[in-house]
Homo-oligomer: A and B are copies of this chain.
Amino acid sequence: MTDQTTSIRPRKSRPERVAGTIKEWIVEKGMKPGDRLPNEAQLIETFAMAKGTIREAMRLLQAEGLVVTRTGPGGGSFLAETSRDRANALLSNYFYFQDLSVDDIYAVRLLLEPELVAGLAGRLTEDQISSLEAVMEDYARPAENSEEERKQHVASLRFHALLAEYSANKVLGFFIGFMSQILTDLTVFRKLYSEPNLPLWERGRNHQIELIKALRSGDAERAREVMKAHMEYARHMMDAQEATVTRRFLNA
């Protein structure tokens, strides 16, 4: 056995090492979003590398959502707070190749969303509740065809994503928002033989009306129960539909 001259993992390229070093700076110096990073010329000098190499390093950090760059005087690279959208997109990349079932997502939603609304009860501003009600307007009437139904489905996912944004628990909020995003991106076709089911639609809508009521009055237990019932209903609805067809990368 020779030693590991041919290591299993390839030696990191210079741009990768530069990006790693810059990350260390960020942690060590306790830099905050908006803080300025050295400009290209300075980085070229401190790392003693060519412009192209430095630029590739910055692209790495940019892809991770950690820096943004601006041209012009006073421009340069700035530390950025990774946006929720970008984090969603990057995580979507991971799940793109995992064949996850819709039911897996609903199983997790069933666990998380009731707790989300329980924590929200009595804590929403009137503005936030108005936003929720505005989204509900998009499915105030039962769908008449499958295309309309798809749109309503997307709108109802927006309702849940909005709730997630309002959560004080960042982890809970992100997970739920991410699942809404994934479900929005999935194109789901209803089975041809399953006709629009009016009673079920009405039941789902009543759930949300009851939910709003409980959120307003601050009845956490009631909110939890209603959301649980709603999630079970939604899971059942999805069960009656056909396979997920189009997956796509988010534009990021």
Contacts and interface: CB of A to CB of B under 8 A. Distances in A.
Given A27-B248, A172-B108, A33 B97 contact: yes
B59 A104 contact: no
Contacts of A108: 112, 169, 171-172, 175
A14 B243 CA distance: 36
Interface stretch (A83-91, A213-221, A229-237): A83-91
A94 B91 CA distance: 11
A87 B60 CA distance: 15
A97 B111 contact: no
Given A23-B249, A27-B248, A249-B27, A172 B93 contact: no
A252 B26 CA distance: 15
A33 B172 CA distance: 31
Contacts of A84: 94
B111 A115 contact: yes
Contact of A20 (B33, B87, B100, B251): B251
Contacts of A107: 115, 169, 171-172
B175 A59 contact: no
Nearest to A167: B104
Interface stretch (A62-70, A130-138, A147-155, A199-207): A62-70
A126 B35 CA distance: 52
Contacts of A248: 27
Given A81-B97, A94-B84, A172-B108, A62 B65 contact: no
B70 A59 contact: no
A204 to B, nearest CB: 23
A84 B98 CA distance: 10
Given A20-B251, A172-B108, A97 B115 contact: no
9 contacts: A10-B70, A65-B93, A82-B97, A87-B90, A87-B93, A95-B171, A107-B169, A107-B171, A108-B171
Interface of A: 10, 15, 20, 23, 26-27, 32-33, 52, 55-56, 59-66, 70, 81-82, 84, 86-87, 90-91, 93-98, 100, 104-105, 107-108, 111-112, 115, 169-172, 174-175, 179, 247-249, 251-252
